[in-house]
Every structure is written in structure tokens, then in C-alpha cells.
Structure 1
Amino acid sequence: MEPTNKKAEVRSQKSRARRTRESGVRGAAQVPLYPYQERWVRDGSRFKLAVKATQIGYSFAAALEAVRDCIRHRTLWIVLSRGERQSLEFMQKARELAQALRIVGSKLETSFFEKTNILQHEVKFPNGSRIIGVPANPDTARGYTGNMILDEFAFHQHDREIWAAAFGRMSRGELKLRVISTPNGQRGKFYELAKEAGLVDVGVRSQESEVRSQKEKQILRFAQDYSRSSDFFATGSNNHPTSIWSGHWCDVHLAKRLGCPINAVQLRQALGDEESWQQEYECVFLSDSQNYIPMELIVESEHEQATTALPLDWRADGGRECYFGYDVGRVRDLAVVAVVEKVGDVYWTRALIEMPKTKFSAQEQVIGDVAPLCVRGAVDATGLGMEMAERLAQKFPGRVEPVSFTLARKQDLAMRLKQQFEERRLRIPESRELRRDLNAVKREVTSAGNVRFDAERTEQGHADRFWALALALHAAGSGASAASGEIESERESYDAERGGSIYEAEKEPWAETVGGMQ
């Protein structure tokens, strides 16, 4: 009888495990989703690609699909995100879903989900399934073999190398590949993949586009009947029947119509930049052929260790070779101070101090804090900046250079800045505003044959961050030698009128744990 009892116990354990998995899948299936998220989760195609507006929940849907797959059978999902911060954000979604399933499991009186191991970069399920989140680079892509999620792939540095490595690691068997991103110009591997899937021409400027309307009607019809599969995006409506991709597309307007609580009008007004709105919210792949510094160069130079505020220990650590640039502004334009540090042959952005509609007296005090920390600085001496530049040059003799923005000088500034990007000798922080300013300046040839560098003036400024950074690099290239010894600022921080400090804010105790490399 004993062998029979053991067999019965084994069958009972297998039955409980099966019921647990089924209940977990049912629990995951009960997570409330918008129709476009539901379609993504239910689409079991091996190769899926989504062109989507920012912040409408596609990463959450991708995390849910991975969690459901991990419950069903033993498998591995690798999530490649743009950087450490983005990787943590994606894994936070996976952790929240796993924790929710623990609650479901307790109600079903099963201990299966209690054994789920939830870490910062990994979720490990009792059946051996794992979800791992890592920053994207070719080496991490080669480090695992499993299902792959390339999150915000259009913004990955070294995207072609990452693509080759990731595709090679999931090509065997029936491993799956998910590529998700907001558009980032008509360049890069994501643009090529979206074009192959027939999703490039969907996000057009005209809201009445026939192609766009057809796509939306297909999704709306699918939303009314989840039980059937839709092959419209898998084959594409733009004569792409041979594409391997099951394509998904959703802009802010479609997301709103399908229930996502978005105030599109308010968002558009707050953003204040039509091109950014079209690309990030309306899924338009914009061409930047006229822009002097291509977006690809800008994105490749972004680094998590480049900062927008000086570290708190900056004053105590002397001997740094720093330079600053100051683009003067008052009402129409934004006043910006950029600080770069030369480390070896690379310039690292250490601060971007923005002063909207700030009194000149307060701006001058800011320079009083910054200049003593730097070897040299360059100040915009054009128009409103002339008097300011003269005063600062007198106050800091040999350390501040007034720079008049003539056509020839602006050409020199712009060319020097672009050269640093091309030679990979500049590191900048991840910032939508900085990215927009750097990409906004255009090179034009006037009727007289002169070369002109300028950007359209908007409510957000006049590419002021571009010129502040260019001035800082100009100061670095002026032949000044590095200061020796420790240089201390005359003031601890900005006064109350200026509303802050040139140093990064004190963090709460939990910030180091949660923020990581932010």
C-alpha cells in the first residue's frame, strides 16, 4: 500500500501545483487593463513590436505578460532597459505584480506565491522561472539566453550591437522577443523595425489620416471582442505581409478614447513644444535632417553619472578642472549656467543651473558661487548680456571671458560642441529639455552665403542650454591651465530670493536605496 500512497501523494502534489498555476494565471488575467494593453498581453506571437506614446502603460503590459508566462511554465525573461534607473522602474512593475499574486495566493490558501523571491533586479518564482532586469548594452544582452524585452529601444545606446546580441540569444526554440518604444526620429534600429512592421506612417500630423483611422478602427473592434485574434497589425496595412512582426500602435489620442485618463489638451499646453508632442505623444517619427546635432549623437552621449546639480561633497574635493558657460536671459529666454569637468580627455556635465525670469542681481550672485569653483568661464556678452559680462570680467579677472555672439563666433561654438559629441568626448545627463535644446539648433546658409546657427524661439526658450554648454566647452578650449589646490566658494548656497542651491538637494534616507544611480 505504501507505494500506492506515494503515487497518490505525487499525483495530489502535481494537481495542487497545476491548480495553483491556473489560479495564478486567472489572478493575473483579472488585472484591469485598457484594451490596447489587453491586446498586447493576449497576443502570443513570437515577435511583437509596439510603437506607443509615452507613459500609457505598455511597460506594465509587458511586465504582466512576462509574469503570466513565468507562472505557466519554467522560463526566463530578460528585460533590457535604457539605463539603471529605467531598469529599476520596469522591475518595480514586475515586483508589484508578483506581490499582488501573493495576496491572491493567500486567499486561495496556497503557499506557492509566498515562495516567490522578489529582489531589486530579479523576480524568481517557485517553479524556477525568472524575470531579470538589466541596463542595456551588448555585453548584458549576450549574458543570458531567454525571452527578451527591449524596453524604449529607440533610446538605447549602441542599439545595433544590442539588437544583434539580443536576437542571437533568443533565436533558438520558441523564445520570444518584445520590442517597445516611443519614436526617436527617423534613425536607428527601432525605426527600421517599425518601418518593416508598417508602423512608421501611422502617427501622421493630420488627425484625419485615412491610414490612422483604419488602424484605430481595428483596435476599437478588437476591444469589443477580446476572444478573437487580430492579424491586422501582424501583416500590416501598408503592404508588409511578409513581416515577422505582430505590430501594435497606440498614440495618446487613441489611448484616451480607450479609457486611459489623459488630459491631452493640458499635456500639450504644458509641454509647449510641438515637435516633442508629435513624436512622444502622437507617435510621429520626425526627421532631423536639418538639425545640426543629430539626436543619435545626443542620446549616445547621455550618461547616468553626468549630473544637473553639483554633488554635495563638491566643495571639499579640490583640484577639479572645471569650466562654466553662462547664457544670459531674463524674460523671453532662459538664463542657463552649464558646468563641465574635464576628466582625462572627456568633459562631464556637472551642473545645468536654469534661472527662468530671474533678476540679473540674483543671476550675478549665482555666478559668484560658480566662478570660484572653475578654472575659467565664458559669458554671453550679446545684447542684455553685455553689461553683465563686463561686470563679471572685472569681478573675476582672467577667469571670465565675455563672448559676443557674432555669426562667426556662433559657428565656432556650435562646431566645437558638435565635435565633442562626434568624438565621444562629452557626457551629458538624461534630460528631455537638454535633449530638445541640443537638437533644436539648425545650420542654415543665408542668401549672402553666410552660415547661420539658430533655433526657433519657443515658450521653453531659445536653445539656451545648447549655448550654455557650448560656452563652457569654449572656456575649456581657451588654453587656461587647471587651477591648483582647493578653491572654495564665497557662499554656502543661493539665498532665499534665488530659491535653492547650486548643490544637489539633501536626500531622504530612502533616496539612496530607491534612487540608485539617478
Structure 2
Amino acid sequence: MMEAVLLPYQQAWVADQSPVMVAEKSRRVGLSWAEACKSGLDASSVNGQDSWYIGYNKDMAQEFIRDVAFWAKHFGQAASEMEEIVLDDEEKDILSFRINFASGHRVTALSSRPSNLRGKQGRVVIDEAAFHGQLQELLKAAFALLIWGGSVAIISTHDGVDNPFNELVEDVRAGKKPYSLHRITFNDAVAQGLCKRVFMATKRDWSPAAEAAWCESIRAIYRPNDAEELDVIPSQSGGSYLSRTLIESRMDPTASVLRLECPEHFEQRPDNERRNFVDDWVEEHLQALVDFLPRTQRHYYGQDFARNGDLSTIVPFTEEQSLKKRAPFLIEMRNVPFKQQEQLLFWLVDRLPRFSGGAHDARGNGQYLAEVAMQRYGSEMIHQIMLTREWYRENMPKMKVAFEDDEISVPKDADVLSDFRAIVLDAGVPKVPDNAHTTGADGKQRHGDAAIATLLAHFASLNPGSLIEYESVSGARIGGQYDDYLRAL
């Protein structure tokens, strides 16, 4: 029955058994209605629990309890009619609503005063959480119910990037809070059948053209706030994602930035000349730094690829005993041909002690280097990443938390600082905008390259493969036997 009535995102919410569930959602997608189903099912079971619904006004409370009554009738559950009750709210009596089930459990609407949860047990539902004036205190009171097996559901549209609800969402997304997170945009809901359901309820004929017109009419209603109200993008976005003070506090003055730039038309030179050029650069700039890497610690890397214009940047990580990820150096390549980037990368990774994983920007031309690295080191070791908005949304907050918790260090360098400052909230997603090019100290173009390579290295460190040990290739020159390495299982 539920599959015929609930849309897929509503089904996912009802099926979620996490102790704490968080949903950031568009307006009017029926998630509170699905929660009424979940609360009613729970309260109707002998082994279930009471539910305590907290909206921010009387109309929300009344509508939710009516929805619970609808579900009770739909599932044939024995339940009372909705009844009005008077709650003692310390300062004044509050009229609210309740429905009782034959199981002995009940679903009750409370006001948003945190003290109203004292002595309660069961499931707490905080609806439109971003609009509660005391959300943080309310959450503290609600979480106390978890001790004896209760659960907490937090549902809301957004009300600004600095709102406590958005801060909670970002903490969950970053892994700081062990809660489940659901994200439902208006487009998501429409794709899963919302418009068809609305047309069915209002006895209208559905067609693709009618759906498109309906969607546009809804957006017209909410403009200019449709990004926040429908697309789940908190407003007031746009500032730098990482503060200058935070970045500088995680910069290591002993770490180096190595810069390799090939001359114009370098790709047209003979193969041996190109290889020898990179050999000489490695011997002069990189060899000693790699020799100094601690042999007992795990190592990772990330590469943000570019061939022309922007930089191609490699950031290696040493995982210290404290689990802090330290970039002992980073490599910036400008105008370096594909084969020489491959040459340098293989030389470096072959010599990273206890190599445990790497991640590549695999978009466009970067797909070549990501693929050959995967072929050399294995698909479990190399992550080929398509840098989509959703990927940034999921992974950038984790790097931010690592900076805040002093779990990352990067070289102290003005251009590297500029790269990290290029990360902004772009329509609610932390990323380097596509058109956000800057000029480095050398007067040439940058595009947040060091920041993205660091993000990829951090991703690799959170998703390690099986440990691989390599012996150095024979000979001192890197232009030679690429495949002369040993894998120790």
C-alpha cells in the first residue's frame, strides 16, 4: 500500500531507522506528510513509541495530527479521533492536538519550548527546524530522549547559510555528526512523481508540457527566492569558504612548492630531450625531498590536472603517527606535456613510502592521466574523480573540518593561500567557480589548483586502498624502466 501512496523520497524517509534523521528539503514536497505516516506506524505498534511533534505554529500542529489520523484510517489502525488538549506551557496555556492509538501510544503536538520535552520519551519530530527561535536548545532537549531508545527527526527548508539548521546539515555532511541526511529538491521531487501526484489529487490531466508549465508557475511564485525555497540552497552564499586566518594557521613554512614550467612548443621536441629535461628537474628539485620522506608512514596524493592555461598540481600527503595529513611539498606544472606529466607522476608515486592511494581529476584531458595511473597502480588504489557539484557538496565540508581540527597542513605560500581562498559557496556548493581565475606571483593564470589537489589527496586518504610497497626503479634516471617495480602484498 505504501508504495502506491508514497513517492520514492518519501518511502526512503519512512524506511530510515536512524536514531537521528535530518532532511533539508524544498517547500511543499510532502515530507511532513510522510513523517506523519512514520509516526503513526510507530505509535500504532505495541512495540512502538509515542511521537512528539514540534512545529512553530498551531496550524502546523493541527495539520500534522490530521495527517496522522489519515494514515491510521488508511492502514486500518485503531485510533481515536483527533482531540484538542491544553498544554501547560509555563507562561500560558497552549491549545494543541493529540491522537491516541489502541496500542497505548499517542502522537501529540507540542509547542517549541524546549522545556516541554522534559519527562517525555519516544520520537521527537522537529518540523521546519530552521524557523524555530531556540533550535539549538530544542535539539539538546530532544537528544536527551535518545538515551532510552527514542529517535529524533529534523525536517526543514533553509533559512540562510548562517542558520543553526544549515550548520547542523553541514556538520552531518562533513561527518562530524553521525546522523542520516536526506536532501530533496523541488526538481528531485518532480522527477520522482510529485507533479503527477498533484495533478491526480486535483483531477487535472498530466502531460510533459503541463508538468513543465506547472513547474515554471511554482518557480514564478517563489522568485527571487526559489534557489533557497525550492533548490535547497541556503541564501546569503558567496563569501570565501575558508578564512584566511584558518588557512594560514595550517600552513607549514618548512614545506616546499616546486614549480616546473616547460618552454613554449616543448611538446614538439624529441622524446629523449623531453624526458631528459624532466629527469634533470627531478634530480635538482625533487629527489632529495622524496628521499627524506619517512619510510614507516603511509602516503597518498591528489592531482588537479591541466595541460594549458591553468596549473597541473600534485599534492602528496604523509600520514603522521597522529593521523594528521601533512603535505611535505607540492608540485606545480605549467605547459608540461601529457607524457612528461605521466613520467613525473610515476617517478614520484613509485617512491612514495607505504603508498596507499591517489585521486585524480578525471574530467576532460585529465582522464588520460587518471586512467594510466589506475592501470599502473590498480583500480583499488587510484580514484578517478569526476568533479561534479554533488561531489564537491559531499567532500569539501570534510576537508574544511580537517582544516578546523588541525588534521591537514600545506606549504606556506602566497599563491597556495590564494588558491584556497578561491573556494566559495557557489549557489550553496563549496567549490572553485568555473570562471574564478586568479593571477599568481609569476603573473600567470591560476584556478584554485592547489586547493583542488589537496581536496583530492584528502579524499584519497579517507578512502585508502590496499597498502603497496615499491622498490625504486633501477638506475638514477626517471626516463627508463617505468614498469620495473615490485608490488608487495
* TM-score, length of structure 1 as denominator length: 0.37
* TM-score, length of structure 2 as denominator length: 0.39
Name the structure where strand makes up a greater proportion of residues.
2
